[in-house]
Amino acid sequence: MAVFAAIAAWNAFSYPPLGGFDASEHISYARGLAERGEFAAGGASYTPPGFYVLAAGAIRLGDALGLDEPERVAQFMNAALGVGTALLLLVLTRLLFPGRPVVRWTALAFFVCCPIVLRTVAMFHPQPLALLLSTLALTLTARMIVQRRYGLWTWLSLAATLGALQLVRSVGLWTVAVVLLTLIATAAADPSHRRAIRNGLGICAAAAFLLALPWYIHLQLTTGSAVFGRSITSTPLSERWPAAFYVSPGLPAVITEPHRGALPGEFLPILYTDTWGDYFGIWSWSPPRPELTSRVNRRLVVESVVGLPLTAFALAGWFALLGLAIARLRDAPARLVVVLMPLVSLAGALYYAVQHPSTDADTVKAMFLLTAVPTWAISFGFAADTLLARSRRIALPVLAVLALCALVALQFATYASVS
């Protein structure tokens, strides 16, 4: 945890404020709020204002401190949000797997070493706040189900979190869906609390929706699209993306040239290379960072390779949890949040890409699935714990290889080592 906090702070200190995805648009939005109290027109105006309100305060603080780049205070805020999410991950894992510390600590290790996390919390971007609120919502839901506490304050805090999440990023809707589905499944699996869940869930869903409603009305009036704030294409479904976009694994370029210069814009390859490497060139290459030379490409290749066993292990853990959820839902319905979150996020990202096709595949980014990383981490932790319990002889060398891969990924996620 200390290593994560130190790297996150160092990245916030060294990563250029204008370096992240659409950074100038996000900064301009926050500055507009800080200086004139106005919403952005154009640029990132389709993004809800939750993050920018906080970022505007951070910029004001940076101005008051006389910093050359006052936006850095918002980057430090994002680093702190990343650390807060890591703490919540520990709490969530403890709730879901009590008495199994291996799940907890290996999940934390995965979360810390997955480059998309440290990369995103270094940027001036709303996504880290969405990550924290999403993880908080999952934790509150799990706590409610595990401890069978369906009191008014519990429901209200969940509603406030879900409402706030929708006011930060539209991806928050996927978390809302996961929470609702998990609670519905719990009500179905637990007849003794069915009535309490049914009544509370109705109030919670209504309150969460009402909190975000003014923003949805604003978007509908200004853009004609209440949720995403972007016009939906009229292109027929079959012509939006080529068939390869949906099914191609991107081999061999996903390993040999994992960047947008060579790897075609396809769904899964972009998500993979943007998670473990730097597909879009916002971290380790592309001006003002180093050019995409063979040396830089070799580094991206290494990242793609070390991501393979980590992804495979997390995926195996997720499949195992899916099987458990199907076979023994009654035993631990709260674990459904871990099973549903990656699935719903992936479906959401695909839906968004299909609704907004672009020539450069700019509407597909691993960051859109950032809120699912804590649940991938728990899946990884579950696989590690299960393997260790079954066969220490097999588990130890496997975990040693995974730890080595994770360390390589962690080094890549340290901006000073790639810039």
Partner 1 sequence: MFLRAGLLSVAALSLSALIGWGAYSVFHDDPGAFVRVKTCLVKEKGATLETPRDPIAKSAELGAVRTVVETNGVTISVASDPESAERIVATYRRVASDLEEGRLERRGRLVFLWDRPASPTQRQALFDCQY
Is-contact 330 189, C-beta < 8 A?
A: yes
Cβ closer to partner 1: 57 or 309? 309
User: Toward partner 1, which CB reaches closer, 260 or 299?
Assistant: 260
Collapsing DSSP to helix, strand or coil, 260 comes out as: coil
Q: Which residues bind partner 1 (CB under 8 A)?
A: 247-249, 251-252, 260-262, 264, 291-294, 312, 315-324, 327, 359-360, 383, 386-387, 390
Nearer Cβ to partner 1 (208/321)? 321
3-state SS assignment for residue 42: coil
Residue 222: half-sphere exposure toward Cβ, Cα within 13 Å:
18
Select 234 or 359, whichever has its Cβ closest to partner 1: 359
State the minimum distance, in angstroms, from the CB of residue 132 to partner 1. Answer: 29
Which residues lie closer than 8 Å to 291 by C-beta, 6 or more apart? 285
Buried b (16+ CB within 10 A) or exposed e, 335-367: bbbbbbbbbbbbebbbebbbbbbeeebbbbbbb
Compute the least distance from the CB of residue 287 to partner 1, in Å.
Answer: 9
Instruction: State the Cα–Cα distance between residues 47 and 253, nearest whole angstrom.
Output: 33
* Dist CA 148 CA 389 (whole Å): 29
C-alpha 416/C-alpha 292 separation (Å) is 17
Shortest Cβ 76–partner 1 spacing (Å)? 31
Half-sphere exposure of 191 (CA within 13 A, CB side): 0
C-beta of residue 118 within 8 angstroms of C-beta of residue 7:
yes
Cβ-based nearer residue to partner 1, 157 or 248: 248
Rounded least distance, CB 294 to partner 1, Å: 6
Q: In angstroms, what is the minimal distance from the CB of 86 to partner 1? A: 25
**From the CB of 123, what's the least distance to partner 1, in Å?**
21
Closer by beta carbon to partner 1, 76 or else 313: 313
